[in-house]
Structure 1
Amino acid sequence: MLYLLLIVTLVFTLFNYKLVKKDLLHPSFIFSFMFFIYTFMCVINKKYFAITLHLPTVLVITIGLGIFTFFAARGEQTTGSTIVEKENTLKKIIIPNAVVFTLIVIQIITIFSFIIYLTDISMSYDKTSRSLSEMISLFDTMTKFWIPTFEKLNVAVPMFYRIGNPISTAGSYIILYVMVHNYVINKKINVLHVISVLLLCVLIILNGSRSPLFRVITMAFVIYFILSYKTGQIEIGNRKNLLKVVWLGVGVVLLFIIMLFAMGRSDKIGNLGSYLFIYAGAPIVNLDTWIMNNTPRLFGGHASIIGEQTFRTLYTYIAKLLHMPHLVHGTIDAFTYSSNGIEIGNVYTMYYKYIYDFGYIGVIILTAILAWYYIGTYKKIKKSSVIGRFSLRLFIYAYLFNDLIMSTFSARFYETVFDAPFIKLMIIVIFVKVFYFDHNKLKVWLNKPIRIEKFSEESYE
């Protein structure tokens, strides 16, 4: 069955590559390609981890690939060619340096406040003095696996961090968008923009999680390639694009290995092959193990409330706001072992939580929503003008693109869109778009004198 799945994922990958006319950023190609890579990693490690798959797992993954391919085929029937922006729309997005400098100051204050927080946690835990990397590792472990212990410490979050974190995070993501947007136009980068983005990366590393850093990379990559496509600087289907993607992937892997040292996890380097398999391959094996041990039904899952695990971040946020602790349920992401007794992590692809909450029918419904959003939004971006302004649609799509890639890992899309940090991010970004980037539109709405002809109908979004 393992080799059957390899053939299935390869066929879907090649078919989608042809279907979307060699568009490497098309969601259906990305989705198929990632499952092929994970399956290929399982084949490579078949003997070491004694991997065997079963028919239900192959069918689940095949159905998901089929759903994305179906939406892609429908999109190709209705999608015209990508709009290439006219020269007079190639305008820089201007943010005064004073504003960027103020944001940088807020970011620095936020970073130092969080370091103080890490120190307080370390001292409250066992009164032991630790290096910064050790404190990062302790914080990451406690917030992921020792949650009751972490809650008992009851260490107060510094006020500067509580206020500064959402502002600095949203601000730096906006700066990232503007930096890439302007670079596509004039091939120049503002040094202050680079500093702001780097400080965002520092704050991410301090939190002990690498996934948000991966999001920064994929977001910049998607914005650059989409805007380059739309300005005619990059041609869809060009083989050079494939090489750029390959080199980017190699660079990301090397970066994440280096980050193991910064986060106090250098002990993982000794068994690097197994460590990489846990992140790229093992989720499929874990899904298969769970399915075979639980024999899910077609309709109905094991959840005590609707979408208990799929929408867990939403329930957690509501519980915090409304003081309803009964809405919070523990994670089902238990550590799993291969059939020959080797620990292979606690992630099971996105399908695990879909099936747990809703049964096999959840695979169809929730994957269809995923395909509808990504493919539909990508089609709209290709058909609309985005160069001369800050596009909220492109910003959100580029931000969530990482969750499409990570669908082979876990149900990241639903975890992200219903999570408190994302909701706060969207509130701030929309506020900045309306009251700064689109301030002239407000004047139109308020019937104040303005030259309306400056704005095309396409610019409204």
Structure 2
Amino acid sequence: MVYILILFLIIIFFISFTVTGQDLLSPWVISCLMFILSALFIVPNIESWNVNLRFFTIITILVGLCSFGFGEMIVRKLTYQKAQAQAINQKTTSKEQIHIHYSILLFFIIFMAIVTYFYYNQVLHLAYAAGYTPSSELPMLRFARIATTSNIMDTVRTNKLLGQCVILSYSYAYLMVYILVHNLIFGKFKKYYILYILPIMIFLVQVILTGGRTQFIYLVGSCLLTFFIMYQIKIGWKFTQNIRYVKNAIVVFIVMLLVFYVLGTFTGKTSKLNLIETMSIYTGSSIVAFDIFLHSNMNSPTNIMYSAKLFGSNTLFGIYDVLRIIGFRVPNLVNQAEFVSLGAYETNIYTSYMRYIKDFSYLGFILIEIFLGFLFSFMYQKIKIVNRSSILIVIYSIMFQVIIETSIEERFFMNVLSLGYVSRVGYLILLYLLLVKIRVRR
């Protein structure tokens, strides 16, 4: 059944690729590719994971992708005439370089270095609270990760100002990615661009200190997407470079896998798994776990789909966090799903679809996918119609984690609709207005 799933996913991919005008950057096309990628990682593990996908799982995945595609095609239909009127196939005339004064660049480099130092001390404090000692066999970040994902966090005081500084560092790093890509696409590399690269490297250190690796994937995905969009703006949205995009994406993906695996050594996550096993668990196990979830849901006498104590308790963490902050008595929800066994392995990722079905039923799942297809296509079409470098590209590339992880885990409600990401985007817009928009107008 795994091969049947792959066959149907390839068919859906070619349908999406055709109806979008061979637009390889289409959110629907990329969503299909992500599910194909996850399905391919199942193949070498069919026996070891005891995989036996059910046809209902295949149908559910196809319905989700088609629903997303329906939302995208609505936007494309509504914006078709406007896109034609704006003549988006013409090359952009906006090739002005973005330059920030050296003093500002140096200030933020020093600022981010200081923030990273204090952030390291805070992470070390969390690790000690979780039982870390210099003689511990496991890495320090492993203990810090345990602290941040358990009740230990309730007993340890963290600096809120430092937290905001880390968020500001995130926003500044993504702004530097945008400026660097913009200047490289519409100009040539200059030696002082190292001042744009250094904040990105410091941010990567902060990412490592979190003990997680997904932010690294998001950053790489954002860089790649920003580059492709900027390049399309430059050449006039002509999709004659699809093969080049695929080649670049494959090279970046291979490098990203290697770095992703190496980063796992800092937290001890890859101490027992090789590269293929690690990527299979993180990329392919979600579909198998989703199949187990659907089978359990259909055969459960209590129907786990409606067993949640709070409406949307598996997805609406950000909204409930806001309610709790303003005074409502709402419990602190745990966003980690339960582990399921896959032979000798375990996983707790179920694709983005599981949480939608569990919280909002199958109808809610379909409506959410239509909405997401509409939202991301609207932003993408807006970028194409405006056809110039803008802050919308940065915001879109940050939110694109929802598409990157659609076959792995839910990210729209859990991440994008959270106070942390609202703050990130807010700081990003503020920095863009102060450092880019106003200075460019001058």
Normalization by structure 1: what TM-score? 0.86
Paired residues of 1:113 and 1:158 also in contact (CA < 8 A) = no
SS of 2:24 mapped into structure 1: coil
Match of 1:208 among 190, 202, 211: 211
- Superposition RMSD on alpha carbons, in Å? 2.7
2:222 maps to amino acid:
M
Aligned match of 1:336: 340
1:226-254 CA-partner distances (Å, limit 9, x unpaired): 11111118841432222111111111111
Aligned to 1:248: 252
% identical aligned pairs: 20
Residues 55-79 of structure 1, C-alpha deviations (whole Å, 9 max, x = no match): 3311211111112332344455425
Cα distance in 2 for partners of 1:24, 1:8 equals 19
Q: 1:150 to 1:162 in 2, by over 3 A?
A: closer
In 2, the alpha carbon distance for the partners of 1:16 and 1:127 equals 50
1:111, 1:161 within 8 Å by CA — same for their partners in 2?
no
Give, in whole Å, the separation in 1 of the partners of 2:7 and 2:412: 26
Where 2:280 maps in the other structure, the secondary structure is helix
C-alpha separation in 1, matches of 2:333 and 2:35: 29
CA distance in 1, matches of 2:412, 2:137: 31
Equivalences, count = 431
The structural deviation recorded for 1:365 is 1.1
1:289 partnered with 2:292: yes
* TM superposition score normalised by structure 2: 0.89
Q: Which residue of structure 2 lines up, in the alignment, with residue 7 of structure 1?
A: 7
Match 1:118 to one of 123, 128, 131: 123
| 1:35 corresponding residue in structure 2 | 35
Asked whether 1:416 is paired with 2:419, we answer no
* Partner of residue 198, structure 2: 195
Structure 1 residues 301 and 95 mapped into 2: Cα distance closer, same or farther (>3 Å)?
farther
User: Is 1:176 matched up with 2:177?
Assistant: yes
User: Any idea what the Cα deviations from partners look like across 1:59-108, whole Å, max 9, x if unmatched?
Assistant: 21111111233234445542546444443x21112221211111111111
CA distance in 2, matches of 1:47, 1:375: 39
Query: Are the structure 2 counterparts of residues 234 and 66 from structure 1 closer, same or farther at C-alpha, using a change threshold of 3 Å?
Result: closer
Residue of structure 2 equivalent to 1:316: 321
2-structure distance, mates of 1:127, 1:41: 35
Q: Is the 8 A contact 1:268 1:275 kept in 2?
A: no
Moved more, 157-166 or 357-366: 157-166
Contact 2:352 2:407 in 1 (8 A): yes
Question: Does structure 2 conserve the Cα–Cα contact (< 8 Å) formed by 1:6 and 1:36?
Answer: yes
- State the one-letter code of the partner of 2:416: V
The alignment status of 1:384 with 2:386, answered yes or no, reads yes
Question: Could you tell me how far 1:132 is from its partner in structure 2?
Answer: 12
Unaligned runs of 5+ in 2: none
Cα 1:184/1:206, change in 2 over 3 Å: same
Residue 265 of structure 1: aligned partner: 269
C-alpha distance 118-131 of structure 1, shift in aligned 2 (>3 A): farther
* Closer/same/farther in 2, CA of residues 115 and 38 from structure 1, 3 Å limit: same
Output aligned runs, 1:431-450, within 5 Å. 431-439=430-438
Give the CA deviation at 1:8.
1.2
- Distance in 2, Cα, partners of 1:231 & 1:113: 41
Q: CA deviation at 1:176?
A: 1.5
Residue in 1 aligned with 2:227? 224
Q: Distance in 1 between matches of 2:282 and 2:430?
A: 36
Q: Distance in 1 between matches of 2:290 and 2:106?
A: 47
Residue type matched to 1:313 in 2?
G
> 2:363 is matched by which residue type in structure 1?
I
Contact persistence 1:93–1:178 (CA under 8 A): yes
Alignment-derived partner of residue 65 in structure 2:
65
Contact 1:299 1:358 in 2 (8 A): no
Q: SS of the residue aligned with 1:344?
A: strand
Distance 1:343 1:160 in 2: 40
Counterpart in the other structure of 1:458: none
Letter in 2 for 1:370: L
Which residue does 2:402 correspond to in 1?
403
Q: Distance in 2 between matches of 1:207 and 1:332?
A: 17
Is the CA contact 1:122–1:129 (under 8 Å) kept in the aligned structure 2?
no
Unaligned 5+ residue runs, structure 1? 442-453, 456-461
User: Following the alignment from structure 1 to structure 2, what is the Cα–Cα distance between the partners of residues 86 and 290?
Assistant: 48
Cα deviation per residue 1:317-344 (whole Å; 9 max; x = unaligned)?
432x224452433335011112xx4223
Distance 1:268-1:91 versus aligned 2 partners, 3 A rule: farther
| Contact in 2 for aligned 1:416/1:422 (Cα 8 Å) | yes
1-structure distance, mates of 2:239, 2:44: 31
Q: Is the 8 A contact 2:69 2:370 kept in 1?
A: no
1:186 aligns with 2:196: no
Alignment match, 2:25? 25
In structure 2, the residue matched to 1:129 is 134
Looking at structure 1, the residues matched to 282 and 305 of structure 2 have their Cα atoms a distance apart, in angstroms, of 29
